[in-house]
Structure 1
Amino acid sequence: MPRAEAAIDRTNGAVSSRTPSRAASYRMRDLCQLTGLERQTIHFYIQEGLLPEGKKTGRNMAYYSEEHVELLRLIKQLQQERFLPLRAIRAILGGKAGGFSPEQRRLLAEVKERLLGAPRGRALVGGSTELVGVREIADAHGVSTKDVDELIDAGLLSAQGGPKARRIRREDAWLVSAWAELSRAGLAREQGFAPRDMMMIDEAIGALFAKEREIFFDRVMHLGPDEIAKLVERVLPILSDVVARMHMHKARDLFALAADERSSAVATAAAKGSRT
């Protein structure tokens, strides 16, 4: 059997029980069959930087490896089980870097298993998958369905269902609530603000997370899953508090600068007055 067909039984289309090679041995049709994803979806993931390109052997021919299969299954799992939008998945996987290695994914799976066994850890990696309609969420928080749809279209929320029957996780409604509070506080559409503006926060946090991820893999991945789970459980809430406090300090620095400018202007005016 040729390498490109090593994992697929062509006689009945079933996935073979043989262990596939980790070399680039799959065609696009193999990826579709092994993952249950459409060809267009896989191409979209490649274009979005979620999946590395295959090894091209011709203008319209490329081969893919077992890593591609594992990564596609992971993306599918994150979308269907965790209801993560592609923007969040891209941040987790590290964009065009190709995501986690199989070893890293196995270790993270073990860490997650440990965290699920602890109340505080479960809050970090668990969560309800209950779905609720866009209309219900909008009414509950006093915003329009247009607002919720804009958060979805911006990739800030993940939704299931068609355009007129979209549902999101009830657990993710905090973002809708945040927009409602910002709007009532004055950052409303009437002043030129929109839910899509929250993308700048997501982008900033995404850049921060990418750096944290890099440091994490560099400095603590040599530890065992039990030790890493305890570390994450202790450290993540502290880091979240640091981010919030640093944001407030940036605002204080801005107003401190304004005060310094005013003092400087007063001093300059006084100096001119003393010379006249």
Structure 2
Amino acid sequence: MRELEAASGIGRETIRFYIREGLLPEPARTSRNSATYSDVHVTRLHTIKRLQEERFLPLAVIRTLLDADDSASWLAHTRFPMLDALIAPLLSPPGGRRSLAEIMRSQGLDPALADAHVATGMIKPDAAGTVSAGDAAILAILKQMWELGLTRDQGFLPKDMRIFVDLVDWLVRQEMKLFFGNMADRIGEAQAVQLVTKTVPLLNDLLAHLHNRAVLQQLGDRRTIANDNPAAAAARRQPECDQS
């Protein structure tokens, strides 16, 4: 345990907690009071630390991301082998692939921004440097955010956007597991295409409403906490007293 603490920079109580929570595998027990830890433990601890510090992911999400075998179990299904090809024309925005460099140049955007968002997985060009119509739409949204002032100069870095990529990847894995686990042996491929193409837009709308509700809830909680703080309340009343 001492060597694992030194190699990972994480204390033993935290390591034991991660083992209990399933984020780390059980060590090999050499005796009742002795255990052997492997490079897997060191790698996982570094990954957990990075996901917490750089992407601010909760442990429940990190556990799912680390549990590759379970998260990818839906890939083993042999039903609907052409589902992606069949639904792509129905869910993708219209338009063909375009050069990423050309898009950035035509929009007057810094190519370094594209490189940064490629590094986070927000934009995914192919080997020829072209992106899909969907990625072009993402770039258009990012441009609007930059024009609103959410720029590097204001502290909004491309790496901060990676949390959205990670969370959506995690969410879609859960959706795939539910869908294939429940429907793979019950419906045909034509019905699966219809179900997916009609359900995905509904889920997108659902997520938008949940996000809006959470934003309002968090802001409301923030105001409640501020109102419960006597010092903050006095500071807000001070300008009124000065004016009188």
Structure 1 and Structure 2 fold alike (TM over 0.5): yes
Q: What is aligned with 2:115?
A: 149
The 2-side partners of 1:171 and 1:211 are apart by 22
- What are the superposed Cα offsets for residues 91-149 of structure 1, whole Å, 9 maximum, x if unpaired? 9xx944556556x344241x456547xxxxx3226865423141x21133332111111
Alignment-derived partner of residue 183 in structure 2: 220
TM-score, length-scaled by structure 2? 0.57
Out of 90, 98, 102, the residue aligned to residue 123 of structure 1 is 90
Paired with 1:237 and 1:204, the residues of 2 have a C-alpha distance of 18
Whether 1:132 aligns to 2:65 is no
Rounded Cα–Cα distance in structure 2 between residues aligned with 1:261 and 1:126:
43
Superposed, 1:183-262 pairs within 5 Å as 183-224=146-187, 225-262=189-226
- Report the Cα offset of residue 186 of structure 1: 2.0
State the identity %. Answer: 19
**In 2, Cα distance between the equivalents of 1:160 and 1:114?**
21
Q: Does structure 2 retain, via aligned residues, the 8 Å contact 1:142–1:180?
A: no
Label 1:101 to 1:213 Cα distance change in 2 as closer, same or farther (>3 A). Answer: closer
SS at match of 1:151: helix
Q: Counterparts of 1:87-98 in structure 2 under 5 Å?
A: 95-97=68-70
Match of 1:167 in 2: 130
Q: Distance in 2 between matches of 1:184 and 1:125?
A: 26
Q: Relative to 1, partners in 2 of residues 1:258 and 1:170: Cα closer, same or farther, differing over 3 Å?
A: closer
Letter in 2 for 1:235: T
Structure 1 residues 126, 133: closer, same or farther in 2, change over 3 A?
closer
Relative to 1, partners in 2 of residues 1:231 and 1:195: Cα closer, same or farther, differing over 3 Å? Answer: same
Q: How many residues align?
A: 166
- Provide the C-alpha distance between the structure 1 equivalents of 2:229 and 2:74, rounded to a whole number of angstroms: 54
Could you tell me how far 1:217 is from its partner in structure 2? Answer: 1.6
CA distance 1:149–1:130, shift in 2 (3 Å): same
Q: Which sections of structure 1, spanning at least 5 residues, go unmatched? A: 1-90, 117-121, 271-276
Decide whether aligned partners of structure 1 residues 229 and 259 sit closer, same or farther in structure 2, where only a CA change above 3 A counts: same
Question: What RMSD, in angstroms, separates the aligned Cα atoms of the two structures?
Answer: 3.2
Q: Give the 3 Å change call, closer, same or farther, for CA 112–200 of structure 1 in structure 2.
A: closer
- Whose relative contact order is higher, 1 or 2, with alpha carbons under 8 Å and at least 6 apart? 2
Give how far 1:255 is off. 1.2
1:150 to 1:209, Cα distance in 2 relative to 1, 3 A = same
* Matched residue, 1:79: none
- Does structure 1 residue 107 correspond to structure 2 residue 80? yes
| 4+ long deviations beyond 6 Å | none
Aligned residue type for 1:218: G
Bigger fraction of residues in helix: 2
Whether the 8 Å CA contact 1:130–1:170 is kept in 2: the answer is yes
Q: Give distance in 2, aligned partners of 1:254 and 1:193.
A: 20
For the residue of structure 2 that corresponds to 1:142, the secondary structure is coil
8 Å contact kept, 2:96–2:132: yes
Q: TM-score, normalised by structure 1?
A: 0.51
8 Å Cα contact 1:132-1:169 kept in structure 2:
no
